[in-house]
């Protein structure tokens, strides 16, 4: 069935490209090589230490009090870490299916003296511990393979490309429980459009007032001081840029 469907798609593509050749001047732009969503927003959480209590758990210690986020240009902002790293049902960045930020891919960079390294991870179920200011995630270590990544053009993709060229930060493809890394930053790739369904369930993201499409992230009563810019309504975050 799948093969049949692929064949139909292929035939359709051949037909479409044939039609295009007849009208080269009016040809639509070719479809992008990837149908993956573009990583058009990056969240960054930094910490003094990262450890791996098990091969599927990442613990960040001495974590920054805010998560930063960046988009194209000078779009940037901050979100309080306890709000950002809350994976409980109903929390700000948790969808109705229980997934936090759609189970994003991320790179954990560490800078332990001359021993820089990076690990590609898929992140789930963040848990912020107020008592000792740690954040733990359930993780899956990802291979250095573009096809394993959820988004295109993100920090994770760049790392995979560099790895293939033997440049950049060395990539670790497995974590040993008990490993401790220092001076770490977690770069999380996201696509804004795919966060829309989460935003729609959070009334204070300002959905419907100023709209995702109009002001980018929606206006928020938290952030009237920042106007209706890109970052102003990112849940309980604040930022700037249009």
Ligand X SMILES: *[C@@H]1O[C@H](CO)[C@@H](O)[C@H](O)[C@H]1NC(C)=O
Q: Which residues bind ligand X (CB under 6 A)?
A: 82, 86, 88, 90-91, 128, 130
Contact present, 202 and 188 (Cβ < 8 Å): no
Q: With respect to ligand X, which residue has the nearer C-beta, 45 or 107?
A: 45
Which CB, 128 or 234, lies closer to ligand X? 128
Residue number with CB closer to ligand X (204 or 242) = 204
Tell me whether residue 146 is exposed, middle or buried, using C-beta atoms within 10 angstroms of its C-beta: 0 to 12, 13 to 18, 19 or more: middle
Least CB distance from residue 82 to ligand X, whole Å? 5
Q: For the CB of residue 203, give the shortest distance to ligand X in the complex, in Å.
A: 13
Q: How many residues does the chain have?
A: 242
Work out the number of other CB atoms within 10 angstroms of the CB of residue 170: 11
To ligand X, the closest distance from the beta carbon of 144 in angstroms equals 34
Which residues, listed in sequence order, are joined to residue 107 by a DSSP beta bridge?
120, 187
Alpha-helical segments (H) within 57-193 = 81-84, 155-164
Nearest distance from residue 200's CB to ligand X, in Å? 16
Report the residue number, 81 or 156, with the smaller CB distance to ligand X.
81
Tokens of 2: 């799948």
């Amino acid at each position: 069935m799948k093969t049949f469907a692929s064949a139909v798609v292929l035939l359709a593509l051949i037909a479409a490209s044939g039609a295009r050749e007849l009208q080269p001047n009016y040809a639509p732009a070719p479809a992008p090589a990837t149908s993956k969503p573009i990583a058009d927003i990056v969240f960054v959480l930094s910490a003094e230490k990262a450890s791996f209590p098990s091969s599927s758990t990442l613990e960040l210690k001495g974590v920054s009090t805010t998560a930063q986020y960046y988009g194209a240009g000078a779009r940037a902002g901050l979100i309080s870490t306890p709000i950002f790293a809350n994976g409980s049902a109903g929390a700000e960045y948790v969808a109705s299916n229980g997934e936090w930020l759609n189970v994003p891919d991320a790179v954990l960079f560490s800078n332990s003296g001359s021993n820089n390294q990076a690990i590609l991870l898929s992140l789930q179920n963040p848990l912020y511990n107020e008592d000792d200011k740690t954040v733990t995630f359930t993780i899956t270590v990802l291979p250095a393979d573009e096809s394993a990544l959820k988004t295109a053009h993100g920090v994770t993709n760049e790392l995979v490309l560099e790895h293939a060229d033997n440049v950049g930060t060395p990539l670790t493809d497995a974590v040993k429980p008990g490993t401790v890394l220092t001076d770490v930053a977690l770069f999380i790739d996201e696509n804004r459009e795919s966060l829309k369904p989460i935003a729609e369930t959070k009334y204070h993201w300002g959905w419907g007032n100023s709209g995702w499409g109009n002001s980018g992230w929606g206006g928020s009563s938290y952030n009237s001081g920042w106007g209706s810019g890109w970052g102003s309504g990112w849940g309980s975050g604040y930022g700037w840029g249009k």
